[in-house]
Amino acid sequence: MIRLPGTTAYALLLVSLFYTCQIGRTPDRMVIDPETGNGGILLPDKFGAIVVADSLGRGRHLAVNEHGDIYVHLRKLTAEGYGIIALRDTSGDGRADVIKGCSKVAGTGIELHNGYLYYSSRTEVYRSPVHPDRLLPSGRIDTLVHLVDGSGHMEKPFAFDGKGNMLVNVGSESNACQEEKRTKGSPGVDPCVELETRAGIWIFDENKLHQKQDISNRYATGIRNAVALEWNTEVDKLFALQHGRDDLHRFWPEYYTEEQNLDLPAEEFLEVEEGDDFGWPYCYWDTFQSKKLLNPEYGGDGRSTRRCEGIKDPILAFPGHWGPNDLLFYQGNQFPEKYKNGAFIAWHGSWNRLGHDQAGYNVVFVPMKNGRPSGNWEIFADGFKGPKPLESAGDAVYRPCGLAEGPDGSLYVVDSQVGRIWRIMYYPDGIKKTVGSAPTYDRGETTDLSSETDESLLSGKAVYDSYCLPCHMSNGKGAPGMNPPLTGTDWVLGDKERLIRVILQGLSEPVEIQGEIYQNVMASHAFLSDRQIADVLTFVRKSFGNDASEIHTDEVANVRASLD
């Protein structure tokens, strides 16, 4: 339960005077030491985080104004009946000390835009005026848009194009537009009538009241559900990430293996232009074949393209079922140059990987140039789900959901389990490390980081789960004839330099291990940092029954330098 602190008249006067003095300038970057353990998450070298606030409720999206005030939209109302929480730091330590409920509308989607706080429910988009030197918006509520009601994916996030238009996601009602929803053998409805009012992006005037959704103002179609939606000002285009469908193996085991189901269909990163069709429910993106394939409800067999030819492709594909819930194009100058104009994506995490460990639960970074990925994506923030294998999404410690950029270039992340907010900052001179500390989790669980080796193992497992597990499996046994095992082999336990080279250079030639030939191509993972490579190799050498010495960052750096 959130506790909204009372404020005396004197304190209110002090807060008002403090912020009146701040109006008209962007706050300077304040040097704030990060939390020990970064509030329970793992970050790249020279990045640290503080916990701004905790236990707010089921946080979804958030917005930050030019003074650092934060507005969090909750999926469910608090016990006091609030759906939006406003937060302010008056002490300068980065933690919110003024926390107030300011709206009774729960939902997903919140933006500060042109003097208004915009927010959405399951069926409407609203706005309330915000005075620049006041924390709480006025009591006036304008209803801008009335959207289709119903069931299924009812979140209504939105984005602004800078030309007076607001683009709103309207998710699908179903998984694959079947005659009988989520029923094995039930064919797909053709044509899918959902597409008239669902599974697409609609465009509206950002100032006009009481607009109604109609097929005439549909901007793009064939998008199952795009909770992550953002206008990219660098290229002046809309981008989104789609939640892919479920149940390929469960309903169609003759076409899809259980292993394929872990990554199919892909979660698609889309460039969305007016009139685009991305193919749902007829088509999905197959990561392994790098093309759109026909869904089995419409006659597909895991190979056929048929009516999917000519459907617009994603600009990037991610593992299936990860759940992309927010997208942010970084505009600040605090982070190193490589992050400028790049995309941060919050992955809410899977729930449906058929008995395997759930995956996602992280924040990913994609370098971008001219609206296209310019390098490999990488996990930026991890560890949200906690230190233990996860069978159910409900058991995750945290689930990252919303992203926002602060006025000083800090990155804010909000969690949807308990409502924790992190502020992630960059420290160019590095962070003094305290050995023996441990990140503490809200549910009474503590990861015992009694040594740097233990911390390396935790970090290494996070890297392994993201980059290695799909091929080498959660038990390290790989896939016969394709991906070699990591258990008890000289490749893992022997020459460190050779092992490091495999990560940096990849492996394309067949190898014989324990009498069996393995010939699946392993791509180079040189995009991982020296620390990530050292941690993941240490994890592998000490897991799955292995007991070999750890690998250090300087060993990776030396091998990398020898290859330049």
DSSP state of 313: P
- 3-class DSSP assignment, residue 22: helix
Average pLDDT in the chain? 88
Q: pLDDT (tens digit, 9 = 90+) per residue, 243-256?
A: 999 999 989 999 99
pLDDT over 70 at 371, yes or no: yes
> Which residue segments constitute the domains of the chain, with CATH numbers given?
9-100+224-426 (2.120.10), 452-563 (1.10.760.10)
Q: What does the pLDDT average to over 172-201?
A: 94
DSSP strand E in 356-420: where?
Answer: 362-366, 368-369, 372-373, 378-381, 400-405, 411-415
pLDDT at 511: 82
pLDDT: which is higher, 84 or 491: 84
Q: What does the pLDDT average to over 5-12?
A: 37
pLDDT at 500: 94
pLDDT over 60 at 5, yes or no: no
Separation of alpha carbons 131 and 138, rounded Å = 8
Put the strands of the sheet holding 200-205 in their side by side order: 158-160, 165-170, 200-205, 218-221
Q: pLDDT (tens digit, 9 = 90+) per residue, 335-362?
A: 999 999 999 999 999 988 877 889 999 9
Sign, CA torsion 201/202/205/206:
negative
User: Which residues are bridge partners to 119 per DSSP?
Assistant: 110, 126
pLDDT over 70 at 55, yes or no: yes
Tokens of 200: 């697409």
Cα 451-457-458 angle, rounded to 5 deg:
95
Is residue 86 a contact partner of residue 102, using CB atoms and an 8 Å limit?
Answer: yes
User: Where residue 28 falls among pLDDT bands split at 50, 70, 90?
Assistant: low
pLDDT: which is higher, 523 or 4: 523
Residue linked to tokens 């005396």: 8
Separation of alpha carbons 250 and 234, rounded Å = 42
pLDDT at 454: 65
Q: What does the pLDDT average to over 203-218?
A: 97
* Calculated CA dihedral for residues 21, 24, 25, 27, nearest 10 degrees: 50
Q: pLDDT (tens digit, 9 = 90+) per residue, 292-301?
A: 999 999 999 9
Is residue 180 a contact partner of residue 140, using CB atoms and an 8 Å limit?
Answer: no
pLDDT at 17: 34
User: Where residue 182 falls among pLDDT bands split at 50, 70, 90?
Assistant: confident
Is residue 100 a contact partner of residue 136, using CB atoms and an 8 Å limit?
Answer: yes
Separation of alpha carbons 562 and 530, rounded Å = 14
Q: pLDDT (tens digit, 9 = 90+) per residue, 514-535?
A: 777 775 667 788 888 999 999 9
* Phi, psi for 193 (deg, rounded to 5): -70, -20
pLDDT over 60 at 417, yes or no: yes
- 3-class DSSP assignment, residue 507: strand
pLDDT at 354: 74
Highest mean pLDDT among 12-26, 268-282, 470-484: 268-282
355 φ/ψ sector (left φ>0, alpha ψ -120 to 50, else beta): left
User: What is the amino acid identity at position 526?
Assistant: A
Nearest partner of 16 among 135, 150, 165, judged by Cα: 135
% residues pLDDT > 70 (the chain): 89
Separation of alpha carbons 203 and 228, rounded Å = 16
pLDDT at 465: 80
pLDDT at 383: 94
Neighbours of 367 (CB within 10 A): 18
Q: pLDDT (tens digit, 9 = 90+) per residue, 121-162?
A: 999 999 999 998 899 999 899 999 999 999 899 999 999 999
Q: Could you tell me whether strands 368-369 and 362-366 are parallel, antiparallel, or unpaired per DSSP bridges?
A: unpaired
pLDDT at 14: 36
pLDDT at 520: 61
Q: pLDDT (tens digit, 9 = 90+) per residue, 421-469?
A: 999 999 999 987 543 333 333 332 322 323 445 667 888 888 888 778 7
